[in-house]
Chains A and B, each alone.
Chain A
Amino acid sequence: MKSFNGPKVGGLLVALTLVFAACGSDDSSSSGSGSSTGISASELVQETDNALIEDAVDGYRAYIGEQIAAMQAETAIFADAIRAGDAEAAAAAYPISRRPWERIEPIAGLIEDIDGAVDAREDDFDGPMDPTFTGWHKLEYFLWEAGDLSEAGPFADQLEADLQTFADALPGLELPPGVLTVGAQELIEEVAAPDGKLSGEEDRYSGTDLYDFKANVEGAEALIELLTPALESADHDLLDAIEASFDELNNQLAQFGSFADGYVHYDEVTEDQRSELAAALGELAESLSMLNGTLGLE
């Protein structure tokens, strides 16, 4: 039996306190925010003298660029299918088109109103047919719930236009280092949120929550990969714990499918399996919550 005289509370497993303060919940955030994600840049330190973190920020800017390009290309396929009235093709393209968005979701809060425009849920509106309810989930509603695409075309146009606005904002976007550290945690908190993927609230009509889930995890993994050089010198144990948690989470997700083969409908994930996913998410989130301080950020 291990001695009981170890360090008190020092371990990386004792951190919690979800960083909701970093969500886009201040006055400048969008109305009708779909998922309450995104980081408010004002909350985060703007500078670091750690060159490894600066490199990571540069790497993340490139990653965001790649993801936005993929998002526009994949969303074009989805929007074209909607406009063509091809429900089958649209349904197949829907979860695929959302992946890049889900991978970089935390930066949505840095660009005003974008989250509410493209990723809001009907709960924020006067029902699903409220004309101000736009974005992926509006189209998801047309596809799976209404079963009628005759009025969906303008919303497909709008989604593409809003994503173009998002893409146009990127070059001028400030990327404080905290976007990376808090962003990695945010992506995981987003999965576990009561209105997130774990509850099946996100993609309630289509049941494609596992695509979003996996994409959130991939986005967090990409951030950790970029931060690995900085973390290796700051706290290798934390890095090991994070990687082990990713492995476990990915192993669990693999039992439900893959992007290549498709994921099962979220209804098929049992209560016990959700409980296991929640535990793995929780363990990962605890570790990720220590990232920011460990890397010397405020």
Chain B
Amino acid sequence: MEDNSEKPKGISRRKFLGAAGAAGAAAATAGFAWPLLKNESTYSASSNESLGYNFRGKHQAGVTAPRMPAGLVAGLDVRVDDKRELEQLFVRLSESIELLMSGARYEDRSGGFPPADTGLNDRADGYVPPWVVLSVGDSLFDSRFGLASLKPRELQPMPKFNNDYMVKPATSHGDLSVAIGGVTHESVIHGFRQLMRSVRGSVIPKWTRSGFNSIRPDIKPGIAPGRNLMGFKDGTANPDPQSDSSMNEIVWVQPNDLQPEWALGGTYLAVRVIRMMVEFWDRTRLNEQEELIGRSRDSGAPLGMKKETDEPRFTSFESHIARANPRTSGSEENLMLRNGFNYADGLDGNDQMDQGLVFLSYQRSLEKGFITVQRRLDGEALEEYIRPLGGGFFFVLPGPGQGSDPLGASLLA
């Protein structure tokens, strides 16, 4: 249900510009003004061009997309019988994702059929196509499809870390994962529903989490785009996803990484659903909160510094930010690109709020990236206030290239 006043359009090949200078970039894209970035209250769809993401390319565009106001991640199990059916599944998923990300219209059907879309994708309602990132999990490389020898070298089930006693199998892992980000929650829900209906019966959704981000209007690298639900700025030190050199250094698997060749252009994804004990947190002294995190709550400045952008100089390595990124010689190889979201999912069985962070990090090496960072975080004082609940490790498939290949073509070739 795109804007019916416009003719169906071809798929936009324009790359959606990302977080760096995103205000201008987003506005420049096809004449579209993103109210959240432009700090404008009106939506303008003056362009004749279809706004969307380029599905085609060396990498999946969603990995380096700007932080989005709405997000969803899901673990999925496949229930196809052999490699040929798995290929067909990837074709269907890819068709569905390309159509979704392109912003192109869904087919018109007569009223005797169910509509081909959810109805949540009307441009007049402020719909902007979401991005989707498709990843594969460790279990896809078991004996079912003969892919064991092709498993990315570091792909493994997420181990139990120090504070992981509430992590449950039912909310962890999956043969596949999809992450979706969008300007509105409806756009993300539209995306997930379209995706699942395109593969119904062949894929079982195992777990999902969805959530939100507030995004400040003057977003730029070096300052956090928003806050986590502990009320602290989150993402200050995130690398710039628009810097190809940074992304090649930190995110994308490179030819000398000793990975299977098909994996070039992909990246490792770590997903962690981390509940925060928000009632407890809200009762915690501000001094304690700031020492646990290592930043001033309000300004985001590292403790002892003045501004958020000041480089921390750690005298101890107890705080969360010091453990996560000690800024020591060599620790730059543990950098990763984070692009998660906050979540709030009602109450638990004890009338306490189930709120927290859906942490997503992309890294060229799982060992050097998330695993090393988490090992440093293991035992941190902040653990008293957080409980990981689930997630998993996945490998983000390389982009589908410029031809007509689906996602996963290099893996299943």
Contact = CB atoms under 8 A, between A and B. Distances in A.
A2 B88 contact: yes
B110 A293 contact: yes
B200 A13 contact: yes
B114 A289 contact: yes
Contacts of A15: 113-114, 116, 197
A290 interface: yes
Interface residues of A, number: 36
B202 interface: yes
Contacts of B200: 13, 16, 279, 282-283, 285-286
A247 to B, nearest CB: 13
Contact of B204 (A2, A10, A19, A275): A275
B115 interface: yes
A286 B197 contact: yes
A16 B115 CA distance: 8
Interface string B401-413: 0011110010011
Interface in B194-225: 194, 197-204
Interface in B74-124: 79, 87-88, 91-92, 94-96, 98-99, 104, 106-107, 109-116, 118
Contacts of A275: 204
B344 to A, nearest CB: 22
Contacts, number: 100
B404 A3 contact: yes
A177 to B, nearest CB: 11
B413 A286 contact: no
Chief secondary structure at chain A's binding surface? loop
A283 B98 CA distance: 22
Contacts of B79: 276, 279
A62 B110 CA distance: 31
Given A1-B413, A4-B404, A11-B92, A293 B112 contact: yes
B95 A292 contact: no
A179 to B, nearest CB: 14
Interface in B355-413: 400, 403-406, 409, 412-413
B111 to A, nearest CB: 6
Interface string A1-27: 111111011110111110100000000
A278 interface: yes
Nearest to A18: B114
B9 interface: no
Interface of A: 1-6, 8-11, 13-17, 19, 45, 245, 275-276, 278-280, 282-286, 289-290, 292-294, 296-298
30 contacts: A1-B87, A1-B405, A1-B413, A2-B87, A2-B88, A4-B403, A4-B404, A5-B404, A8-B107, A13-B200, A15-B197, A16-B114, A16-B193, A17-B114, A17-B115, A276-B79, A279-B200, A279-B201, A279-B203, A284-B201, A289-B114, A290-B113, A290-B114, A292-B112, A293-B110, A293-B112, A293-B114, A294-B113, A296-B112, A298-B110
Given A1-B412, A13-B197, 20 more contacts: A1-B87, A1-B91, A1-B406, A4-B95, A4-B406, A5-B404, A8-B99, A8-B107, A13-B199, A14-B197, A45-B112, A276-B79, A276-B204, A278-B204, A279-B200, A282-B200, A283-B201, A286-B201, A290-B113, A293-B109
